[in-house]
Chains A and B, each alone.
Chain A
Amino acid sequence: MAAVSIDRVHKSYGSVGVLHGVSLEIDDGEFVVLVGPSGCGKSTLLRMIAGLEAINAGDIRIGDRVVNNVAPKDRDIAMVFQNYALYPHMSVSSNMGFSMELRRFAKSMIDSAVGRAAATLGLGELLQRRPRELSGGQRQRVAMGRAIVRQPQVFLFDEPLSNLDAKLRVQMRTEIKALHQELKTTAVYVTHDQVEAMTMADRIVVMHGGIMQQVGPPLEVYDRPANKFVAGFIGSPAMNFFDGVVAANGAGRYVAMGGDVRLPIPDNSRAEVGRRVTYGVRPESIRIDADDAGSVPASVEVIEPTGLSTLVYSKVADALVCTFTMERPDLERGQPIRLAPDLARVHVFDADSGERL
C-alpha cells in the first residue's frame, strides 16, 4: 500500500488542454473518487496514474517514487476497466492469475492467491468458465479479482459500474466499498455518477474542464459546495438556482428576483448589496409552509410521488423549483402555495465567477 501524490500535472493533446495543473495528495489506504461530467479529464488523470498516458508537465509519485517514466507494469498498480477487459480466450482463473504468471510466480502460489481472491468475491464456482459464459456482474467481479490477486500498491477503477444495470450497480457499489474496508489498499475511483461518488468515497474530487473544483469528504462537498458547478453537480435531485441581485431592507439582505420575489439570505453570507448572484437551495431545504415570514409565493406544476418521498415542482416567478418532502402533501396542479427556504442551508454564488460567497 502506498500514498499517491499528484503534483501540478498538465496534459494536452496537441493544442487541446485536458488537465490544467492538477495537484492532489492521496493518503495511504484512502478511497478517493474522481467525479465530473464526461470530458472533465478524470479518466485521463487516472490513466496517467496507471501509466497509460504520458505526463506533459508535473510529477506523479506512488509511495516515494516519481513514476512519470515508469512503465505501467513496474508501477505496482492494478486497474479495473469499464468494459472489464477480460482476456476472452482464458478461463476465469487464468485471467485472475495472469499477472502472477507473467511475473513467474510458482504455480502453487498463483493457485492459492487466485483461490483466496475467488473466495473473497464468491467466484469459486466459476473459475473454469470463460468470460463470455458469465453475466455482467460476474465479469465485473472477475475484473476485480484480477486486480486484487496481486496485492498491488494502488487500485485504479475506471467507471467500473457503468455497464451494469441499476440494481446490480447498487449492489456492486456496496461490495467494492466493503472490499476496500477489508483490504485497506489505496484506491482511486473514476465515475460520472455523483451517487457513487457520495456513497463510496473517503474524499471526493470534483473535476470540471480539466481543473479540480473541490476536494473534500462527501458530506462537506455536499453541504458547502465551493462553487456553483459543484453545487449543481453533486446532489440528486439537483439544487435549485435563482438569478437575482442582492438588496436589503430592515429585516436583512435578500435576493431580488423578477416578479418582486424576495429570497432571504443568511447573515453570515459575504454577498454585499448590489451584487449579481445565483441563489442556490437544495430541494430538501425548502419547506412548503404558508406561515413563514420569509416564504415566497409559488404555484404547483407537477407532483412526483416516489413512495419514499414526494417531489413537488412549482413555479416561482418564471423559475421551476423542485421541493423534496418525506410527507405526502395533498396538492394539485395550479394550487398556490408558499415556499420557505431553510436559511441555514442557503448557498449564494457570485453570478459571474460562480464562487461561493
Chain B
Amino acid sequence: MAAPEPAPARQRRLLSAILEPYLYISPALIIIGLVMFVPLIVGLSYAYREIQLLNPFSGGFVGLANFAQLYGDTRFWRALSNTAWWTFASVSLQFFFGLGLALLLNKSFPGKRLIQAVVFLPWAVPTFLSGLTWAWLFNPVVGPLPHWMSAIGLMDEPVNILSIPSVALWGPIIANVWWGIPFFAITLLAALQSIPNELHEAAAIDGATTWQRFVKVTLPFLAPMIAITVLLRTIWISNFADLIVVMTGGGPADSTQIVASYIFTQAYRRLDFGYASAVATALLALLLLYAVIVLRMRRSLLRAM
C-alpha cells in the first residue's frame, strides 16, 4: 500500500483528467463557435435593436418592441399560414412522388441506368434557374402550361396562375415539387435497396399480396428513413425562399409570402434588419420545437424496430 497522496496533487490530477478531452476537441469547437455561433448570436441580437439601414440614427436597444410589432403584424401571420401550406404541400407531394419513383426504380428493367440518371437531373438544376424556367412555363406569353390547362378545361382562358392571389402559391409549390422529388427518390431508393430480398420472398411464401408486402414489410423498413428525410425536408423547405423570391417575389399582394421570404423582404427590400431578425427568431423557435418533436418520434420508431 502506497502512502495516501497529498490532497492538492490528487485534485490537480482529477482536474487535468477532466480538462484533457476538451483540450483535444478545442480547435474544432473554436472554429465552429466562430463561424456558427457568433454570427447566430449577433444576428439574433438584432431582434432587440432598431436597425434600419435607411435611418443613420437607428441602432439603439429597443427590448421586445420588434416582437410586439410582430405580434400585431397581419402580414406575418399570413406568411406563417402560407409557410404551413407551402411546406405541407411541397413535402407531402415530393414524398409521395419520390416514393413512387423509388419503388419503380427498385425494379429492374432495360434502360434503368439511363432513366435513373434522368430522374435525378432536376436536383442538379440551380434553384434560381428552375424558378425562372417555371415562371416562364406559367406565363401564357411564352409558356405552354396555361394553354394546356385551358385546353383540358382547368382554366377558362390561358392566364398566369402566378398573378392570381388565391392560387399563386401553387406555382412555386409545383416548381418545388418538381425540383425536390429526386431527393426523396434517391434516399428512399437507397433504403429500399437495403431491404434483403429474402424478406420479400419469405413474405410471398407466407402468403402476403403485393400490397400486404408493401404495407407490412417495405413500409416498416422505410419508416426511420422516411421520418428523418421528412424532418430534414420540412425544415429545409420551410426555410427555402429561393423559388418564391424568383417566381413571385412574395406577391401578388403578399399572397405567396412565406416567413422566410418575408424575412428576406423585410431585410433587403425595406432594409429593416431589426424587424427581419425578430421574424427570423420566431421562425427559428418554431423549427427547433418541430425538430425536437420529430426527433422524439424517430427515436421511438427506431426503438420499435
Contact = CB atoms under 8 A, between A and B. Distances in A.
Interface of A: 50-52, 71-73, 77-79, 81-83, 85, 87-89, 98-99, 102-103, 130, 132, 146
Contacts of B209: 73
A73 B221 contact: no
Instruction: Identify whether the interface residues of B are mostly helix, strand, loop, or mixed.
Output: helix
Given A83-B196, A87-B217, A99 B201 contact: no
Contacts of A73: 204-209
Nearest to A82: B198
Nearest to B212: A102
Interface in B175-227: 196, 198-199, 201-209, 212, 216-217, 220-221
Given A85-B196, A89-B304, A130-B305, A103 B207 contact: yes
Interface string B77-106: 000000000000000000000000000000
A4 B144 CA distance: 63
Nearest to A84: B198
- Interface size for chain B: under 10, 10 to 19, 20 to 34, or 35 or more residues? 10 to 19
21 contacts: A51-B204, A51-B205, A52-B204, A72-B201, A73-B205, A73-B206, A73-B207, A73-B208, A78-B205, A79-B205, A81-B201, A83-B196, A85-B198, A85-B199, A85-B201, A87-B203, A87-B220, A102-B207, A130-B305, A146-B202, A146-B206
A72 B203 CA distance: 10
A50 B207 CA distance: 12
A178 B248 CA distance: 75
Nearest to B217: A87
Interface of B: 196, 198-199, 201-209, 212, 216-217, 220-221, 304-305
B304 A72 contact: no
Contacts of A82: 198
Contacts of B205: 50-52, 72-73, 77-79, 99
Contacts of B207: 73, 99, 102-103
A52 B196 contact: no
Nearest to B201: A52
A81 B198 CA distance: 7
A71 B205 CA distance: 8
A89 B204 contact: no
Given A83-B196, A85-B199, A130-B305, A102 B208 contact: yes
Closest 3 pairs between A and B when the two form their complex, measured CB to CB: A85-B198, A99-B206, A73-B207
Contacts of A72: 201, 204-205
A38 B216 CA distance: 33
Given A81-B198, A83-B196, A88 B206 contact: no
Given A51-B204, A51-B205, A52-B204, 13 more contacts: A50-B201, A72-B201, A73-B209, A79-B201, A81-B202, A83-B198, A85-B196, A99-B206, A99-B207, A102-B212, A130-B305, A146-B202, A146-B206
Nearest to A104: B207
Nearest to A130: B305
Nearest to A158: B198
Contact of A102 (B198, B206, B221, B305): B206
A71 B201 CA distance: 11
Contacts of A89: 220-221, 304-305
B6 to A, nearest CB: 50
B272 to A, nearest CB: 51
A71 B204 contact: yes
**Which of B201, B203, B205 counts the most chain A CB atoms within 10 A?**
B205
Contacts of A83: 196, 198
A85 B207 CA distance: 15
Contact of A98 (B196, B206, B220): B206
A52 B212 CA distance: 17
A73 B211 CA distance: 14
Contact of A88 (B201, B208, B305): B305
A297 to B, nearest CB: 55
A258 to B, nearest CB: 51
A52 B201 CA distance: 7
Contacts of B212: 102
A87 B220 CA distance: 10
B286 to A, nearest CB: 32
Contacts of B202: 79, 81, 85, 87, 146
Nearest to A89: B220
A83 B207 CA distance: 20
B282 to A, nearest CB: 38
Contacts of A102: 206-208, 212
A132 B217 CA distance: 16
A50 B205 CA distance: 8
B194 to A, nearest CB: 11
B177 to A, nearest CB: 30
Contacts of B201: 50, 52, 72, 79, 81, 85
Contacts of A99: 205-207
B203 to A, nearest CB: 8
Nearest to B198: A85
A355 B203 CA distance: 43
B125 to A, nearest CB: 37
Contacts of B199: 85, 87
Contacts of A51: 204-205
Among A50, A82, A88, residue most surrounded by chain B Cβ atoms (within 10 Å): A88
B219 to A, nearest CB: 9
B201 to A, nearest CB: 5
A83 B205 CA distance: 16
Of the listed residues B199, B209, B220, B221, the one surrounded by the most CB atoms of chain A closer than 10 A to its CB is B199
